[in-house]
């Protein structure tokens, strides 16, 4: 597929559509903190909120407009004067303000929700975009439920709002109903059929109800959309919005198929994901693409061996490229000698072949019983098989105590200890940021 090199605008709606997801609401300070992180990440547009929705939302949009000066700051408004005026009031001090007006266009929404005719819908869309334009040059229009709207009618609405001054046409798959070929085709149809479409930006806005939000967004980009609306960690209404980190990395890793640029500084993706997760208190699923705890973890022996020889064997992007400091080899029953030897080295032990074989046999027996062999388990094994030279300062407490503590036997006094190096995990081994220690290893260590 030959595609022109193009710049795709990243429109982040974590603070608006994302915040609408159950359990993900944020207070004013939290929104500001995240907005700074989105700025560092390099998003082009921050949709800061829905100013008429509450005083809190209004204040947050106003505060973000005042302090975040590089990106465009967007505020959402229904297609009515009160919403548009309130949005402008919140946005007017922004360096680059955008009013985002939406109005449903599908027959289902017109009939059951808005109770208006198609003609009334056309008039309302035209008047509200014109009003927004009277305040602000940058106006985005979203025909809500676009993917279930009669395409003929959708094109008419889009022509009318272009005439009224809209500069971005966003095409929401509001209910996550579309599939990639169909959504791509819709974008292509709009570009081909709507008068004036060539002079405005076409934008994708996809929900994940069928798990296709990112695939749909990519199909839209391939069909000529030049803005994508997305959220960190894919949070959002119901099953969420398209995940920003996945779209950005898909474009980067598969640049051969998507020769598009974004302004995203990808090394800030993982920190942004962690910050959001911490703020809303919703953990990221471990197998989440790009930024999940297991996204760069390799447990199978063959995979571990390959990654250690050359990460290209099983990693299509480096952990560092998305801000994860290093990959974490998960030691379990599928792990091989090579991975075990490396982890032992990271813990400060090098073994000859025979000693390693011995530890490996014990390791496999243990891994059969417990799912993951954590560093403190491994240290116990090493202690059993490899007694430190008598002149050496003991690194570890006596095995019986450690085993009892690990088994939760509180009859044993835990040995007071402190980390052996200034690393967060206490073992002198840097763990990727955000990968939490499940065991309190410090209880099992002597200081050196």
Choosing from 30, 44, 144, 380, the residue that interacts with ligand KIV (CB under 6 A) is 144
Q: Which is nearer to ligand KIV, 175 or 342 (CB)?
A: 175
Residues facing residue 171 across a β-bridge: 204
Q: Which helix or strand (DSSP H or E) is residue 142 part of?
A: strand 139-144
As measured in angstroms, the least distance from the Cβ of 176 to ligand KIV is 9
N- to C-terminal Cα distance for the chain?
A: 60
The site for Zn ion, by CB under 5 A, has a size of 1
As measured in angstroms, the least distance from the Cβ of 270 to ligand KIV is 26
Quote the CA–CA distance of 356 and 353 in Å, as a whole number: 5
114 close to 144: Cβ distance less than 8 angstroms: no
- Helix locations, 68-137, DSSP H: 81-91, 107-108, 118-135
Q: Which is nearer to ligand KIV, 143 or 323 (CB)?
A: 143
Does residue 142 belong to the site contacting ligand KIV (CB under 6 A)?
Answer: yes
Does residue 351 belong to the site contacting ligand KIV (CB under 6 A)?
Answer: no
As measured in angstroms, the least distance from the Cβ of 244 to ligand KIV is 15
Does residue 141 belong to the site contacting ligand KIV (CB under 6 A)?
Answer: no
- Name which of Zn ion, ligand KIV, none residue 144 binds, using a CB cut-off of 5 to 8 Å depending on partner kind: ligand KIV
- Name which of ligand KIV, Zn ion, none residue 124 binds, using a CB cut-off of 5 to 8 Å depending on partner kind: none
Specify the stretch interacting with ligand KIV by CB under 6 A; choose among 29-37, 169-177, 196-204, 218-226.
Answer: 169-177
236 close to 206: Cβ distance less than 8 angstroms: no
Complete DSSP assignment for 294-360:
TTT-B-SHHHHHHHHH-GGGT-SS-GGGGT--S--BPPSTT--HHHHHHHHHHTT----HHHHHHHH
Quote the CA–CA distance of 141 and 6 in Å, as a whole number: 22
Q: Which is nearer to ligand KIV, 37 or 203 (CB)?
A: 203
| C-alpha torsion 53→57→61→67, nearest 10 | 170
Cα angle, residue 197 at apex, residues 194 and 201 outer, rounded to 5°:
140
Name the nearest CA neighbour of 380 among 327, 439, 436, 435: 439
The SS3 of residue 48 is: strand
Specify the stretch interacting with ligand KIV by CB under 6 A; choose among 167-175, 264-272, 327-335, 417-425.
Answer: 167-175
The site for ligand KIV, by CB under 6 A, has a size of 9
Q: Which is nearer to ligand KIV, 12 or 144 (CB)?
A: 144
Q: Which is nearer to Zn ion, 45 or 395 (CB)?
A: 45
Site string for ligand KIV, 204-243 (x = CB under 6 A): -x-x------------------------------------
Give CA separation, 347 vs 70, 296, 370, 386, in Å.
44, 20, 20, 13
As measured in angstroms, the least distance from the Cβ of 96 to Zn ion is 22
Site string for ligand KIV, 50-89 (x = CB under 6 A): ----------------------------------------
The SS3 of residue 216 is: helix
Site string for ligand KIV, 94-113 (x = CB under 6 A): --------x-----------
- Name which of Zn ion, ligand KIV, none residue 149 binds, using a CB cut-off of 5 to 8 Å depending on partner kind: none
Specify the stretch interacting with ligand KIV by CB under 6 A; choose among 170-178, 302-310, 365-373, 423-431.
Answer: 170-178
Quote the CA–CA distance of 142 and 136 in Å, as a whole number: 16
Does residue 83 belong to the site contacting Zn ion (CB under 5 A)?
Answer: no
Choosing from 17, 19, 30, 299, the residue that interacts with ligand KIV (CB under 6 A) is 17
The SS3 of residue 153 is: helix
Does residue 124 belong to the site contacting ligand KIV (CB under 6 A)?
Answer: no
Cα angle, residue 441 at apex, residues 435 and 446 outer, rounded to 5°:
145
Restricted to residues 172-191, the positions that interact with ligand KIV (CB under 6 A) are: 172, 174
Quote the CA–CA distance of 174 and 147 in Å, as a whole number: 8
Quote the CA–CA distance of 105 and 147 in Å, as a whole number: 10
Choosing from 12, 17, 140, 397, the residue that interacts with Zn ion (CB under 5 A) is 17
The residues of the shown chain that bind Zn ion, judged by CB under 5 A, are 17
The residues of the shown chain that bind ligand KIV, judged by CB under 6 A, are 17, 102, 142, 144, 170, 172, 174, 205, 207
């Amino acid at each position: 597929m030959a595609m022109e090199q193009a710049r795709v605008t990243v429109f982040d709606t974590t603070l608006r559509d994302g915040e609408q997801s159950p359990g993900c609401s944020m207070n004013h300070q939290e929104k500001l903190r995240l907005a700074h992180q989105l700025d560092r990440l390099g998003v082009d547009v921050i949709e800061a909120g829905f100013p008429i929705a509450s005083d809190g939302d209004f204040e947050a949009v106003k505060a973000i407009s005042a302090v975040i000066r590089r990106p465009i700051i967007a505020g959402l408004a229904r297609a009515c004067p009160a919403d548009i005026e309130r949005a402008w009031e919140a946005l007017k001090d922004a360096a680059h303000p955008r009013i985002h007006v939406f109005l449903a266009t599908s027959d289902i929404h017109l009939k059951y929700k808005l109770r208006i005719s198609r003609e009334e819908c056309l008039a309302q869309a035209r008047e509200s975009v014109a009003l927004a334009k009277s305040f602000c040059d940058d106006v985005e229009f979203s025909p809500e439920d676009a993917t279930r709207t009669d395409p003929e009618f959708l094109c008419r609405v889009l022509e009318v709002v272009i005439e009224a001054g809209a500069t971005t046409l966003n095409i929401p798959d509001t209910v996550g109903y579309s599939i990639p070929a169909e959504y791509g085709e819709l974008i292509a149809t709009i570009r081909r059929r709507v008068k004036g479409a060539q002079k405005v930006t076409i934008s994708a806005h996809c929900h994940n109800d069928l798990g296709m939000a990112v695939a749909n967004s990519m199909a839209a980009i391939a069909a000529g959309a030049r803005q994508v609306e997305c959220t960190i960690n894919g949070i959002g209404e119901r099953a969420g919005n398209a995940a920003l980190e996945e779209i950005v990395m898909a474009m980067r890793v598969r640049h051969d198929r998507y020769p598009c640029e974004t302004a995203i500084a990808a090394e800030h993706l993982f920190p942004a994901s962690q910050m959001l997760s911490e703020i809303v208190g919703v953990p990221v699923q471990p197998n989440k693409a790009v930024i999940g705890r297991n996204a760069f973890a390799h447990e199978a022996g063959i995979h571990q061996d390959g990654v250690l020889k050359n990460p290209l064997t099983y990693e299509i992007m480096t952990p560092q490229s998305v801000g994860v400091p290093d990959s974490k080899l998960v030691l379990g029953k599928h792990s091989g000698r090579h991975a075990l030897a490396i982890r032992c080295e990271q813990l400060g032990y090098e073994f000859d072949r025979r000693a390693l074989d011995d530890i490996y046999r014990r390791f496999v027996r243990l891994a059969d019983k417990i799912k993951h062999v954590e560093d403190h388990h491994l240290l116990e094994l090493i202690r059993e098989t490899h007694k430190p030279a008598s002149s050496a300062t003991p690194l570890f407490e006596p095995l019986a105590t450690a085993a009892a503590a690990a088994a939760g036997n509180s009859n044993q006094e835990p040995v007071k200890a402190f980390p052996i190096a200034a690393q967060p995990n206490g073992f002198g081994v840097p763990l990727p940021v955000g990968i939490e220690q499940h065991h309190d290893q410090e209880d099992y260590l002597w200081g050196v």
